[in-house]
Amino acid sequence: MRVPDNLAAAFAEAEATVARYFELRRDDPEHGTIEIFGERYVLVRAASLSVEFFRLCEDLYGPGREAEAAAFAQNILFDLAHAIGKSDAHNFHTKMGLVDPIAKLSAGPVHFAFSGWAFVELGPESEPRPDDGYFLFYDHPYSFEADAWIRAGQRRDFAVCIMNAGYSSGWCEESFGVKLVSAELECRARGDERCRFVMGTPERVGEHVERILGKRGARLDVPDFFARKRMEDELLRAKADLERRVAERTAQLQRAYEERAEVERKLRHAHQLEGLGRLAGGVAHDFNNLVGIILANAAALRQRIDDGDPRARFVDDILGTCDRAGKLTRQLLAFGRAPVTAHAHVELCSSVTETSRTLERLLGEDIELVIERPDEDLWVVADPSKLDQVVLNLAVNARDAMPTGGRLTIALAAIEVGSARAAELSIEPGPGVQLTVRDEGVGIAPEALVHIFEPFFTTKGGRGSGVGLSTVYGLVRETSGAIVVRSEPRGGTVFDVTLPRVPPPVAGLEERRARPAPAVAPRARVVLLVEDEVNLRRIVATILEDAGYHVLAAADVEDAQRLARARPDVAVLLTDVVMPGLRGPELAARIRAFCPEMRVLYMSGYAEERAEPDPVPGGAGWLGKPFRPEELLAKLGDVLSDAG
C-alpha cells in the first residue's frame, strides 16, 4: 500500500503489527480449519460476494425488477461489510493492544490488503480526525469486487465495490468513534480508470465529493444504508421530541385540568357561600324587623319606668336579649357580605399588637403567642373593630384546636397580589397585606375543610355555634379581601387573610372624618315615615313624636306619595329600603319632586342595600335594624345637620 509521507511511520508500524498478527496462523487440514490468533478464518470466492450475489438477488426479484434487486444487494452487502469491518477492528485492536486512533486506523488498510480485499493508496488530502471534519481520500486499484465483474465480462452503470466501502468505513468508524460512510466515486467495473473512494461523516460526505470532483451535484453512490440510517436517526429524534412534547403538553393539560377543576370547585363553593349569604341576609332582615319591634317598644317602655321600679329589671333583660339577637343577625349579615359601617385607615401591625394583649388573657398559659411583623407599617382601610373580631375569632379557633397547648403564630407581611393570584382569590391585584394565623393543633379533615366557612357548620360538636368562621369570612370579604385555609389532620391549620394595602392617611383627615356632627333640635320638623311592618311603624312614630317631630306615617309607597304631595315641607324621609312595589331609593327620587329640600334616612334589616349609591341629591343616611330609640334620634339628627 502507499500512504502520504506524514503517515508513513504510523503505517510502517502498522505493517509490523499486522505481520505479528498473521504469523500466528495455524492450519488444521484434519479438521479443515484455518485459525489466526485463535480466530477461525474462512476463504470465500470473490465472485460469490459480488457478481453471483447480484444475480441471486435478480432471480429472487424476477424479470423487470433488476434495479430493485441491485439496490437490495447493495444495501445487504454494505450493511454486512460495515458490521464485519467494525467487528474485525474491535477484535484486532483488543488483541494487539492498540489505543491511539491513528494506530488503529493504520492497521485497517494493512489488514485489508493482507486479507486480499484490495491494494490501498491514501491520498495526501486525507485528514483523519475524531470529529465531523473526518476526511479520507483513497484508491483501491485492484478491488476484488471490480475484478470479479471485469472477469465475468460484465459492466454496470453503478459502482460495485460495495463491501470495500462498507468494510473500510466500519473499521475507521470503530477506530475513531465517529459515524462514517464511504462512497465510491469511480469504479473500474463501470469503465473508470480506477476504483476511487471518499470517506466522511454521513452529513458531510456529499460536501467532500463536490470538493474532490469540483462540481456541485456530482454523482454520489452512497448505499441506502446510511440514508436509511439518517432517516431512522431523524425519525427516532423526531419521535423522542414528539414524545417529549406530548408529555409536556399532557402535563400542561393535566395541570390546566386540575387548575380548572380547582377553580370550578372554588366557584361552586363561592356560589354556595353566596347563596347561603343571601339566605342569611333574608333571614336576618325578617328577624331584624321582629327584634326591632321588641327593642323599640322595650326601650320606650324603659324610659317610662323609674330605675327603682321592680319591673325595670324585666325590661332591661328584654333589652339585653334584643342586643344579643341583634349581634347574631349582624354576624349573619357579615357572612352575607355586609358593607363596612365605619371605614377608617388602620395600621394593621399596631392593631394586631394591641389585640394581642387581649389574646394573652384568652389563650391561657399553655398557648405560646408569637407575633411576626415587618419593620414597615401596613395600612388598610377597614372597620377597626371588625379587624379585631377577625383576629380574635381566628385566635380562639386556634386555641380550641390545641387542647394540650402549643404555639400560635400571627404573622404580618407586605405582598404584591399578581393578576393570577387575584383572579384565584376574587380580589383586585396590586399591593396587599397578608395576615397569617398559624397553629399546631389537631388540624381539619379534608371533608370538613370545604365547609369551614359555612354558617352553623362546626367541628367542635356542641361546643361551637358555627358562626365564628362564617363571620370572619364575611368581614374579610366586606373589606375587599380574601381568606383561605390550609390544613391536614394532626398537621395544624393556617389561615391566610389578604387585604388591600393603602398609603398612610393624611395627618388629621381621619380625626376630621370621625368628629361627630352637632345635634339639631327637631323644632317640630316633619318626618315622612314609610314602613310596611305595622308594629314597627307604630313604635317608630311614637319615638319620633315623643322627641318633638311631626310624623306622617305611610304603610306603602302610594300612601307615602299622597302624603308628600300634601306636605311639601317634609324635612326627612325615613323609609325602609325593601318594600312591596318600590325600593326606598326609587321612592325617595319620586318624593323629591314634591319636597325638594328633603333629606333621606334609610333603614333596613338587610346589609347590601347600603352599598348602593343614593340616587337622591343632598344628605342621606343609613340605619341598620334593629336599633334603639337613641340610635334613631342620633342618626336623624346627623342627617338633618349634614350640609351635604
* Same domain as 416, residue 462: yes
Does 413 map to a domain?
yes
Residue finishing a domain among 181, 200, 222: 222
In 3D space, the residue among 223, 68, 206 whose CA is nearest the CA of residue 161 turns out to be: 223
Does 405 map to a domain?
yes
Q: What is the mean pLDDT of residues 248-255?
A: 85
Rg (CA), the chain: 49
Q: How far apart are CA 295 and CA 421, in angstroms?
A: 45
H helical segments located in 486-594: 509-514, 534-546, 557-566, 584-591
- Phi, psi dihedrals of residue 108, rounded to the nearest 5°: -65, -60
Is-contact 274 426, C-beta < 8 A?
no
* Same domain as 159, residue 103: yes
Does 266 map to a domain?
no
pLDDT band at residue 215, thresholds of 50, 70 and 90?
Answer: low
Q: What is the mean pLDDT of residues 181-209?
A: 89
* Same domain as 188, residue 156: yes
Q: Indicate which CATH number applies to the domain containing 627.
A: 3.40.50.2300
Does 393 map to a domain?
yes
* Same domain as 31, residue 173: yes
The answer to which of 250-259, 320-329, 388-397 has the lowest mean pLDDT is: 320-329
- Does the pLDDT value for residue 555 go beyond 50? yes
Q: How far apart are CA 409 and CA 396, in angstroms?
A: 12
> Please, what is the end-to-end C-alpha distance for the chain in angstroms?
113
* Same domain as 392, residue 478: yes
Cα distances from 244 to residues 199, 232, 251, 258, 306, in angstroms, run 35, 18, 10, 21, 87
Instruction: Report the DSSP pairing between strands 526-530 and 570-576.
Output: parallel
- Does the pLDDT value for residue 643 go beyond 50? no
SS3 label, residue 327: helix
All 3 cell numbers of residue 162? 460495495
Q: What is the mean pLDDT of residues 485-497?
A: 90
All 3 cell numbers of residue 182? 464511504
| pLDDT in the model for residue 608 | 44
Cα angle 37-42-45, degrees, rounded to a multiple of 5: 140
Q: What is the mean pLDDT of residues 9-27?
A: 90
- Phi, psi dihedrals of residue 114, rounded to the nearest 5°: -65, -30
- Does the pLDDT value for residue 331 go beyond 70? no
Q: What value does the mean pLDDT of the chain take?
A: 82
SS3 label, residue 49: helix
Q: What is the mean pLDDT of residues 200-217?
A: 77
* Same domain as 571, residue 489: no
Q: Indicate which CATH number applies to the domain containing 172.
A: 3.30.1380.20
| pLDDT in the model for residue 248 | 87
SS3 label, residue 249: helix
Does 13 map to a domain?
yes
pLDDT (tens digit per residue) in 58-98:
999 999 998 888 888 888 899 899 999 999 999 999 999 99
Residue finishing a domain among 463, 490, 510: 510
Q: How far apart are CA 396 and CA 481, in angstroms?
A: 21
E-strand stretches of 270-366: 344-347
* Same domain as 44, residue 128: yes
pLDDT more than 90, % of the chain: 30
* Same domain as 529, residue 479: no
Is-contact 388 351, C-beta < 8 A?
yes
| pLDDT in the model for residue 213 | 75
- Does the pLDDT value for residue 610 go beyond 70? no
Q: What is the mean pLDDT of residues 511-516?
A: 43
* Same domain as 556, residue 483: no
The answer to which of 204-218, 388-402, 539-553 has the lowest mean pLDDT is: 204-218
User: Which residue type sits at 501?
Assistant: R
Q: Indicate which CATH number applies to the domain containing 409.
A: 3.30.565.10
* Same domain as 354, residue 496: yes
| pLDDT in the model for residue 274 | 64
Residue finishing a domain among 480, 510, 540: 510
Q: How many domains does the chain have?
A: 3
The answer to which of 259-268, 410-419, 615-624 has the lowest mean pLDDT is: 615-624
pLDDT band at residue 461, thresholds of 50, 70 and 90?
Answer: low
* Same domain as 151, residue 94: yes
* Same domain as 545, residue 494: no
pLDDT (tens digit per residue) in 95-137:
999 999 999 999 988 988 888 888 899 999 899 999 989 999 9
Choose between 86 and 464: higher pLDDT. Answer: 86
Does 313 map to a domain?
no
Does 332 map to a domain?
no
Q: How far apart are CA 499 and CA 363, in angstroms?
A: 25
Does 295 map to a domain?
no
Q: What is the mean pLDDT of residues 136-142?
A: 91
The domain of 527 spans 516-641
